[in-house]
Amino acid sequence: MDATRLKRLTPYLFLLPALLILSLTVFWPALQAIYLSLFNYDLISQQTQWMGLKNFQRLGSDRLFWQTLRNTLLYLLCVVPLLVILPLGLAILVNQKIKGISGFRAAFYTPVIISMVVAGIAWRWLYAENGLFNQALSSFNLPTIPWLTSPQWAIYSVMVVTIWKGLGYYMVIYLAGLQSIPQELYEAAAIDGSDGIIKHWDITLPLMKPYLFLVAVISAISATKVFEEVYIMTQGGPRNSSKTLVYYVYEQAFQKLEMSYACTIGLVLFLAIMGLSIVNLRLKQIS
């Protein structure tokens, strides 16, 4: 093999180990899931029976599937805009050159490194009937709120935990982008009369577009795949009001042992996430 050909193959040789790991942990399980969605798989006897598209037809008449799909879309529409906007404001605040700012950055990032199990149990205590939030409402003679036991409140209470957990993570992404913006641009804008909040509209937002799209994609995918918060805090209740698609997949696969149907739902979720990613990438190209 000549040197020129070897030089061309070198990058692919470096990528080969990662591709092998991805094939074993991602691509092969995904292909197995597609295969199982076309069969009725008995987990105990491990026997398969050809079903064709009957599992997909079952989705059309499954009211619980459509309810969990609506819950997931609601989660997406409520959580993603806040996780795109709020961390940016937080990053602007902690990007100030003042004494002790590193402590504030560490404090805001702390929820990211806390285990979701610990965070979920803590927030469940805060949301309890006699928890801190309801005690605070009672001290002002306000009616208490059934945060996790009411179908109207449960999913929104879980959303708050997702937002609280993700603020610090996306703040760090934005902070990296803010620190790459030359200070001279703000100084030049100040001479032209663009100062205070206006300078962020004129300079920060246009230059932060790649980071905004990145956070939008990551937070959208994370919101679509939310599971731990629901599992720890509500178990999908009350009356399935906080049950998401991923939790429904878990329920079908490991509680009802309907592995084939769970793979079918998982395939729909995969297509939804892929479509969401493509839309975000196209919007990024247009902008």
pLDDT for 7: 78
Looking at the domain assignment, is residue 258 inside a domain?
Answer: yes
pLDDT for 287: 59
Same domain, yes or no: 191 and 265: no
Same domain, yes or no: 265 and 143: no
pLDDT for 190: 78
pLDDT band for position 124 (cuts 50, 70, 90): very high
Looking at the domain assignment, is residue 154 inside a domain?
Answer: yes
Q: Using H for helix, E for strand and C for coil, what is the string for the chain?
A: CCHHHHHHHHHHHHHHHHHHHHHHHHHHHHHHHHHHCCEEECCCCCCEEECCCHHHHHHHHCHHHHHHHHHHHHHHHHHHHHHHHHHHHHHHHHCCCCCCHHHHHHHHHHHHHCCHHHHHHHHHHHHCCCCHHHHHHHHCCCCCCCCCCCCCCHHHHHHHHHHHHHHHHHHHHHHHHHCCCCHHHHHHHHHCCCCCHHHHHHHHHHHCHHHHHHHHHHHHHHHHCCCHHHHHHCCCCCCCCCCCHHHHHHHHHHHCCCHHHHHHHHHHHHHHHHHHHHHHHHHHHHC
pLDDT 10s digits, 218-269: 898 899 889 999 999 999 989 999 999 999 999 999 888 888 999 999 988 8
Looking at the domain assignment, is residue 15 inside a domain?
Answer: no
Same domain, yes or no: 82 and 214: yes
Looking at the domain assignment, is residue 206 inside a domain?
Answer: yes
Whether the predicted model's global pTM rises above the 0.75 cut = yes
Same domain, yes or no: 281 and 149: no
Looking at the domain assignment, is residue 8 inside a domain?
Answer: no
Total structural domains within the chain: 2
Same domain, yes or no: 250 and 234: no
- Residue, of 49 and 147, whose pLDDT is higher: 147
Same domain, yes or no: 256 and 114: no
Can you give the CATH number for the domain in which 151 is found? 1.10.3720.10
Looking at the domain assignment, is residue 109 inside a domain?
Answer: yes
pLDDT for 72: 93
Same domain, yes or no: 154 and 278: no
pLDDT for 203: 84
Same domain, yes or no: 112 and 175: yes
The residue from 218, 238, 258 where one domain ends is: 238
Same domain, yes or no: 107 and 126: yes
Same domain, yes or no: 264 and 164: no
pLDDT 10s digits, 17-48: 999 999 998 889 888 888 888 888 877 777 88
The rounded percent of the chain whose pLDDT value lies above 90 is 52
pLDDT 10s digits, 170-189: 999 999 999 888 888 887 87
Residue numbers of the domain that contains 274: 244-286
Same domain, yes or no: 166 and 131: yes
Looking at the domain assignment, is residue 259 inside a domain?
Answer: yes
Looking at the domain assignment, is residue 47 inside a domain?
Answer: no
Range name among 123-127, 152-156, 170-174, 272-276 with the lowest pLDDT average: 272-276
Q: What mean pLDDT is predicted for residues 78-88?
A: 95
Same domain, yes or no: 92 and 222: yes
pLDDT for residue 1 is more than 60: no
